[in-house]
């Protein structure tokens, strides 16, 4: 069936700058290696997308509507459907000392954070620094190859994929999910107890479940600490083997 806005799907993709062919985002390991874009710190697997919810670039979101499971699509994205046009008002010149006071050494091309916003240093000279708050790919034409791997319909599986989207590095099968009435219970595996930003992830999950499952009133996260392993039963002694007479030597009653 055709995909609609609001559907949960798993997709793989390869995103490139159209003019240069540079791969800047990819979910397929062999494609990343072929493009010299591989990073050992990244997990290469299909990504969850809630179609029409702004999880992907606008042009990709629009292209997914009407697609079907198993389909492959190639599209071009104009800047307005990707990272937007460049905005000259987002380029500023600041004294270099303002950055050095913040512990930033100005270098052309460096990505920095200023006032809670990411920016790129374009040039440094005469005690002044040109900072660009545009996205690095603003104004660029992009191309995208998209593979629709699966449409996720079963409610518990959708929640499992939401968990995996926020808590990486732990197999999603390790989370036990139950849905009874308006209660969702998520049993957390032990390795998730101290995962980085786990409280932030749980809060985000609760909000997403509330949004995509409006009938759910409560999300319960369960952490069980096993203090003692159950005792193993003592081995039972084996019964002595019963001797069986060899064939043809059975004892016979006297005649």
Location of structure tokens 């459907």: 81
Q: Which domain holds residue 120?
A: 88-132
Q: Are residues 4 and 110 in the same domain?
A: no
Q: What is the torsional sign of CA 173, 174, 175, 180?
A: positive
Residues 63 and 145 in one domain: yes
pTM flag (> 0.75): yes
DSSP state string for 129-194: EEEE-S-TTTT--EEEEEEEEEEE-SHHHHHHHHHHHHSTTS-GGGSEEEEETTEEEEEEPGGGTT
pLDDT at 249: 47
Whether 77 and 142 share a structural domain? yes
Q: Does a structural domain hold residue 221?
A: yes
**pLDDT attached to residue 140:** 98
Q: What is the CATH number of the domain that holds 172?
A: 3.30.70.2210
pLDDT at 182 (0 to 100) = 97
Are residue 80 and residue 101 in the same domain, yes or no?
Answer: no
Domain tally, the chain: 3
The last residue of a domain, from among 102, 132, 162: 132
3-state secondary structure 21-83: CCEEEECCHHHHHHCCCCCCCCCCCCEEEECCCCCCCHHHHHHHCCCCCCCEEEEEECHHHCC
Per run of 10 residues, the mean pLDDT along the chain (length 255 residues) is 97 98 98 97 96 97 98 98 97 95 94 94 96 98 98 98 96 97 97 94 98 98 86 71 55 46
Q: Are residues 13 and 103 in the same domain?
A: no
Rg (alpha carbons) of the chain, rounded to whole number: 29
């Amino acid at each position: 069936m055709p995909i609609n806005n609001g559907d949960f799907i798993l997709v793989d993709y390869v995103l490139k700058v159209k003019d240069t062919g540079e791969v800047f985002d990819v979910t397929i390991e062999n494609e990343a290696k072929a493009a010299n874009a591989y990073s050992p710190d990244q997990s290469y697997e299909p990504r969850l997308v809630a179609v029409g919810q702004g999880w992907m670039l606008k042009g990709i979101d629009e292209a997914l509507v009407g697609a079907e499971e198993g389909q492959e699509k190639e599209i071009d994205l104009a800047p307005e459907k990707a990272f937007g046009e460049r905005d000259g008002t987002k380029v500023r010149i600041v004294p270099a000392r303002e950055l050095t006071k913040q512990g930033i050494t100005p270098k052309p091309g460096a990505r920095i954070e200023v006032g809670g916003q990411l920016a790129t240093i374009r040039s440094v000279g005469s005690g002044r620094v040109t900072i660009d708050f545009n996205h690095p790919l603003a104004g660029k034409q992009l191309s995208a190859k998209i593979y629709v791997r699966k449409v996720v319909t079963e409610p518990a599986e959708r929640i499992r994929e939401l968990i995996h989207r926020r808590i990486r590095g732990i197999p999603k099968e390790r989370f036990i999910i139950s849905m009874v009435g308006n209660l969702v219970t998520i049993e957390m595996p032990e390795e998730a107890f101290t995962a980085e930003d786990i409280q932030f992830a749980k809060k985000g999950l609760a909000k997403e479940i509330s949004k995509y499952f409006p009938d759910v009133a409560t999300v319960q996260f369960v952490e069980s600490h096993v203090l003692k392993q159950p005792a193993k039963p003592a081995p039972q002694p084996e019964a002595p083997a019963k001797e069986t007479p060899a064939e043809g030597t059975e004892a016979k009653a006297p005649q």
